[in-house]
A and B are shown apart, each in its own frame.
Chain A
Amino acid sequence: MTSDNHVDGNAMGGLLMDVFGREMTDALGGCASCGSTHVIAELVVYRSGPGDVLRCPSCTSVLMVATPVPSGPRVYFSNLQWLASRTDPGQPKVKQ
């Protein structure tokens, strides 16, 4: 990314806990667009006002979009193909 007006998935920790009911930043996600695997904490996050856009660090495609609808935060899935728990907190199982 050439600009630095983004943060990362760590910033989404509270919202993702609201929606999923558990800590999610250490989960693994697969990109349907380029096939790469990334820890949610490492997703490229654009905190746009209408919502937060979580993009794939490898190919920039949109994986999830979180919007603050009045009833509570909602996470839309776009190119996030799968989610998985990290079984070994020390080492990810797949090379990134």
Chain B
Amino acid sequence: MARAALRGRLTWQVADLVDRIDETPQVRSLVLDVPNWAGHQPGQHVDVRLTAEDGYQVERSYSIATPADGNRVTITVERIDDGEVSPYLVDELRVGDKLELRGPIGGYFVWQPIDGGPLFLAAGGSGLVPLMAMVRARVGAGSDIPVRLLVSSRSTGEVIYSDDLHSLAKDHDGVEVIQTLTRAQPPGWSGYRRRVDREMLAAIAWPATDMPRCYICGPTGFVEAVATALVDLGHLPQNIRTERFGPTGG
């Protein structure tokens, strides 16, 4: 069983697109049915491969947005202007189409409720995707581990899973969502209005003495600024795990 699962992780599989969810004007979640999917941990990703008729191939990695759920695997894709893969996934792929992928991949940037907490999650832009899988896993497992999720976005229109974030915080004790909008804020906005900095983290992250497990994901600059600030605040580097999406944010 373990060997079959290991082989399965290295081979390409064909999944069916069963649903599309519009998250923002630029971001769409793709709900995939993957035959014989062996499950995955929150934080892991899949590699997706596209093949054109002339044989040209291109691959990209996408974080899984949901905890394990049978054969269902949901990825969330942000359309990058002039991108090679994301415009196809967001705009062209239709329910009923097939998509080649392999996974799950990732053994470090993962969290499950048995790993304990409290949990501090910091998301920059599309870095929210794998962290959302972690929050959804915590809620789905009925865990009481305290979670604070900091979400940094440029404007309200770019906040992925906006409704879900709102209901997760409202409906579940111990799940807090703190937002910062760095470029434009709507009238009456009471959240933060600037890039994440040491002062903000000092106010909202768990104190270092609580020994929280910290996960930071997003553009490279965001991740490194947040990680540095958390270490400055006394958090141990070994309690901080990071995933960098590169300058464009993936």
**At the interface, yes or no: B220 with Cβ under 8 Å from chain A?**
yes
Interchain residue pairs with CB less than 8 A apart (28):
A4-B220, A4-B224, A4-B247, A5-B246, A5-B247, A6-B246, A7-B246, A10-B45, A10-B108, A10-B243, A13-B61, A13-B105, A17-B105, A21-B10, A23-B106, A25-B105, A25-B107, A25-B109, A26-B108, A40-B108, A41-B107, A41-B108, A41-B109, A89-B107, A89-B115, A90-B115, A90-B116, A91-B238
Interface flags, B2-38, vs A, CB<8A=1, else 0? 0000100110000000000000000000000000000
Shortest distance from the beta carbon of A80 to any chain B beta carbon, whole Å: 17
Q: Tell whether, in the assembled complex, residue A7 and residue B245 are in contact, meaning their CB atoms are under 8 Å apart.
A: yes
Within 8 Å CB of A8, what residues of B?
Answer: 242-244
Known: A5-B220, A8-B244, A89-B115. 8 other contacts (CB 8 A): A4-B221, A7-B245, A10-B244, A13-B105, A17-B9, A25-B106, A90-B116, A95-B238
Inter-chain CA distance A40–B146, complex, in Å, is: 28
**At the interface, yes or no: B219 with Cβ under 8 Å from chain A?**
yes
Q: Tell whether, in the assembled complex, residue B238 and residue A7 are in contact, meaning their CB atoms are under 8 Å apart.
A: no
**At the interface, yes or no: B79 with Cβ under 8 Å from chain A?**
no
**At the interface, yes or no: B102 with Cβ under 8 Å from chain A?**
yes
Residue of A nearest to B6 (CB): A22
Interface size class of B (residues with CB under 8 A): 20 to 34
Within 8 Å CB of A11, what residues of B?
Answer: 61, 244
Interface flags, B94-122, vs A, CB<8A=1, else 0? 00000000110111110000011000000
Within 8 Å CB of A51, what residues of B?
Answer: none
| B interface residues, Cβ below 8 angstroms from A | 6, 9-10, 45, 47, 59, 61, 102-103, 105-109, 115-116, 219-221, 224, 237-238, 241-247
Inter-chain CA distance A90–B61, complex, in Å, is: 25
Interface flags, A10-41, vs B, CB<8A=1, else 0? 11011001100111111000000000000111
Total A-B Cβ pairs within 8 A: 80
Contact with B108, one of A7, A14, A39 (Cβ below 8 angstroms): A39
Inter-chain CA distance A2–B247, complex, in Å, is: 12
Residue of B nearest to A18 (CB): B10
Question: Which of A8, A18, A47: most chain B CB closer than 10 A?
Answer: A8
Mostly, the B contact residues are: mixed
Within 8 Å CB of B247, what residues of A?
Answer: 4-5
Q: Give the contacts of A46-80 with B (CB-CB under 8 A).
A: 47
- List 4 A-B pairs, minimum CB-CB distance, nearest first: A41-B108, A26-B107, A23-B107, A4-B220
Shortest distance from the beta carbon of B247 to any chain A beta carbon, whole Å: 5
Contact with A92, one of B9, B103, B238 (Cβ below 8 angstroms): B238
Within 8 Å CB of B9, what residues of A?
Answer: 17, 23
Within 8 Å CB of B115, what residues of A?
Answer: 89-90
Q: Tell whether, in the assembled complex, residue B244 and residue A13 are in contact, meaning their CB atoms are under 8 Å apart.
A: no
Q: Tell whether, in the assembled complex, residue A17 and residue B108 are in contact, meaning their CB atoms are under 8 Å apart.
A: no
Contact with A6, one of B106, B243, B244 (Cβ below 8 angstroms): B244
Q: Tell whether, in the assembled complex, residue B244 and residue A7 are in contact, meaning their CB atoms are under 8 Å apart.
A: yes
**At the interface, yes or no: A96 with Cβ under 8 Å from chain B?**
yes
Q: Tell whether, in the assembled complex, residue B10 and residue A17 are in contact, meaning their CB atoms are under 8 Å apart.
A: yes
Shortest distance from the beta carbon of A95 to any chain B beta carbon, whole Å: 7
Question: Which of A21, A22, A25: most chain B CB closer than 10 A?
Answer: A25
